[in-house]
Structure formats: C-alpha cells, structure tokens
Structure 1
Amino acid sequence: MKKSKRIRLKDLRAIYQLLGECREMGDDHTLWKAHWAKGVAKLVDADMIMSGGLTGWRTGRLERMEDSFWSSNPNLDLTPWFRSLELWDEGGIDYQVLLPTFAESFQGQPSITTERQRLMDDKTWYRSFEFQEIHRQLEVDNILVTIQEMQSQTNDAYHTALIARQIGKQKYGAFELNLIQLIQEETAPLIGGALASVEEPKPSDLPPRVRQVLQCILEGDGDKQIAARLEISPHTVKQYVKTLFRFFQVNSRNELMARWIKRGWGRSFQWNQNL
C-alpha cells in the first residue's frame, strides 16, 4: 500500500515534542543538535544524519560552520567522515558532487528539501569520489538534502542536514520529504534564540567544576551556598565565577542569568550531570 504524502496529527505532535526537548537543552548547541538528529532519524527511519551550518549559499562560495554527525551504528568507523571534513577545510568542496549540484540547482532559495535522485543520475553518483570514498565507507545511501535560512551573526547562514539510510534500504518518498521540510521550517527560526547557535559558547566546553558552579548560579545560589554545596572555598568560587564571566562575555551574575531567562532555556543542565 502506497504511503500517503500527508503529514498526520501524530507526526506533528512528535515534531513539536522533539523541538520542546531540544529547547530544554538549547543552551548547548552540541547537545541539542545531537538530540535533534536522533529524533529526526526516528521520525523518518534514517540511519545517519550529518547536520550543521553553511554560509555563502547566495554567493555560491560555500563555507561550513560546525558540523555534527549521528549514526544508528555506535560501532561505525567515522574515519571517512573526518576525512571529508579535512578535505573541505584543506581545499573547499571540489571533492564533492552532491552539495555543489544542490547549490547550483537551488542557489539563493531560502528553504529547500530534496532527494539525491533529483540532483543527479545514479551513474554520476555511484562513480563519484564522494560516494565511493565517503558514503559507501559509511554504509549509507538513499539521501535527502535540506537547507533552511537561519538567524546568525554571519549573513547568508543556513541550517543544513544530509539524511541517509543504509545501503539497500527503501528510498525516501514524498512523505519523508514533506516531514523533513516541516521540521526544518520549525527548527531554523529557533536557532540563535531558543536553540543556541554554533557561534555561541557552550557550557559543555567548560571544566567540570566550573560547570557545577554555573549550575549553582543558575539555580540561584550565592557564593557561600555554592562553596558549601560543592565543598570548596569561597575564594575558589570567586575564581570560577570570573572564569564564567570571561567565557560567556558578561560582567555580572544578572547578565549571566539573563542569558538563560531571555532565551527560555530549560533547567535540565544536560551539560552537567554530576551535580
């Protein structure tokens, strides 16, 4: 029986539940993006998602922002993925065929989701270096490519994702295309607001003790309470607080707390699970 193109009510509920969960961890872009990828994969039965930011879409001079990778196979050898990033950083995207063709076909359009088959024929794709040395090694094919304009300190910035299934699995249909397009339209406007962008400092980069102090501050503790709670000296607390001010480029506790309050970030503190 052919699958309907229409998005069902249960799909909408799943999308908004996923975005709500991402917002709970929206203060750290590494964490929410990993959760987003896992949730999207479940919705469209994907086995691998490469997502990130891209600039230069309108000009055709494509540059990548920070990328993330999710796979359903925890034991997958990621060497081809890291090699692809090295190739991009060393010489641009000349080694690719998929993204340049995508950019040439839809350059400047603010929102596009399409499948690989619409971009190039099988012969071109399966003979390409990109498939042979990257995707085949990662054991995936059947690809959707999606791009959506997003808020950024950099002009011409987009949220992108490459969504793939294992080689041999069923190709994506119109339903998955429509679903991914909707997910992108709902996700991208949140980036830079409820969802931290890759340009922002992330708490998970802080040392463990400093993360603990950050959580205490966000929960309303003063220096003495933090010192007692973490069993460290008040002097050490002050030093950690100064580190936080520098890291987040603020001048006071109020500014630091306002960063979380204004953005509506949750209190799950996924970046600090040891307190």
Structure 2
Amino acid sequence: MDFVKPDLRTVNVIRYVTPLREGGSLPAIAEADDDFLYVLKFRGAGQGVKALIAELIGGELARAAGLRMPEIVFANLDTAFGRTEPDEEIQDLLKASVGLNLAVHYLSGAITFDPVVNDIDPLLASKIVWLDGLLMNVDRTPRNTNMLMWHKELWVIDHGASLYFHHSWTNWQEQAVKPFVQIKDHVLLRSASELVAADEFLKSKITPEVIRAIVSLIPEDWLLTMREGTPDEIREVYASFLEMRLQSSDIFLKQAQDARETLI
C-alpha cells in the first residue's frame, strides 16, 4: 500500500483538565472542541517548539512504521485561556503557549508498559528499538518507558526527546552518522532479537518520500521562532538529517546489536 501523507486535524482547546507533572515540560490533559481529551504539549515549555517538532516527526514516523501511535493534532490555545488558573507556574506556561501547540489523543484507561509484566513480540520490540535508534530517542528506558498498554495492545508515545541534534544544530551532518550509544539503556533491547529483520522491514516503510512528507507538516509558525534559518532551510535540515541517518542505518543497527550482546 502506498504511503498517504498525514493530514493532521486542528482543534481548539476549551478546557484545561489537569497537569501531568512528569519531567520539566508540564504537559496536561485538556479537552478540545471536538469533545475529545488530549495530552497537550506546550510550545512555551522548557524546550519550546523543538520538542513539539520532535514529537510530531517521531510520532508520525512511528505511525508510518506500522506502530500503534495515538492520533496527533495541532491544538490552538486562545489568549483568554487559563486566565482563571490559580497555579502561577501553569498560568505562565499557558500565557507563553498562546497559538499553535501539539496534542496527542488521550488513551483513557491505558496503563504504563511494564517489561516485567507485559510480554512483547521480539520483532515488535526490534522495530521500536530500531526506530528509536533512527530518531536518537533518549527517553525509552526502564525508568520511563513511554509506552502504554491499551486494550491489550502496545502503544508508543512521547518522542519529544528525539532528534536532540537540533539543540546544537551546527554539527548536524556529523550527528546524522553517529552511533547511538544511549541505545544500551533501551527498555526493549533485551527483547529485540529481530533487529536485522526490523532494519529490512522499516527501510521499506520509512523512505525519503515518507520523511519529507512528514517534515513538511511542521508549521511555519513554529519554524519562525527558531534562529537557524528560514522555514524551508530548517525543514531541509530535518529531512536531510533523517535521510542520512536512514542511509547509515547499519551504524546504529550494529550499536544496538553490540549493546544487546552485553545483556544476554
């Protein structure tokens, strides 16, 4: 089946439900005007729009790879929103996040994936490890798995700590072909016995065409807040970084294989 470019919906946030005090970004559960609940990621949080860009790219690449990923939407936050919020820290965050943010569909009743309790198919584990190697995702560890069990199926979430090259930016070509040493801490590495099969399969799913279609989704509004270049130039760097990394997948694949050998 041919890849279909994602068409992300835009919703308006109408109610702040509760903060999720995990990490430094203070995401929140919020209700939108489509009557659904979302985990709202704020542009005014610590890493700003770069975390939202990583979340967008990582989440949609996971979907393109055939992994279960909750729907991602753009979420508008009005200037009047949050004026009655009594918590000053949250009120400041809301004020700094007026405009277009990112939200992920809230999986009500989902529980955190536990590698001790939940069995996982080796090929599925290998696909997730491979994708996190591509994205250089540092945040899928036993301490914080960023995976959920929902209706007895595994869902991946939270890719905001991916693509950390964009926090320094100047050496992105060098970063694109580097091994990903943090893969040794991946929560699924021990179960990932099908890494070669995952590499072959995912390179047929995540192509340059797919990468560029997903990168093209990054809102110009976010890119205009960055100092690295014009929106088109910045999109080109993201696309080129991922394409170079894809072409050099043997580097992060070997890193994962070597790290796994030390565990088993």
TM-score scaled by length of structure 1? 0.25
TM-score, normalising length: structure 2:
0.26
Whichever structure has more helix as a proportion of its residues is 1
Q: Which entry has the higher C-alpha Rg, 1 or 2?
A: 1
